[in-house]
Amino acid sequence: MKNITLYSDGACSGNPGAGGWACVLIYDEHKKELSGGDNLTTNNKMELTAVIEGLKALKEPCVVDVFSDSAYVINSFNNGWIDNWQKNGWKTADKKDVLNKELWQELLKLSNVHKITWHKVKGHADNELNNRCDELARCEVEKLLKSV
Which residues make up each annotated binding site for Mg(2+)? Answer: 9, 47, 69, 134
Longest CA pairwise span in the chain (Å): 46
Q: What are the two backbone dihedrals, phi and then psi, of residue 75, each rounded to the nearest 5 degrees?
A: -65, -25
Tell me which residue of 142, 138, 148, 147 sits closest to 50, measured CA to CA. 138
* 3-state DSSP assignment of residue 141: helix
Please identify every residue annotated as catalytic. Answer: 9-10, 47, 69, 124, 134
Binding residues: 9, 47, 69, 134
Cα dihedral 115→88→8→20 (10° resolution)? 150
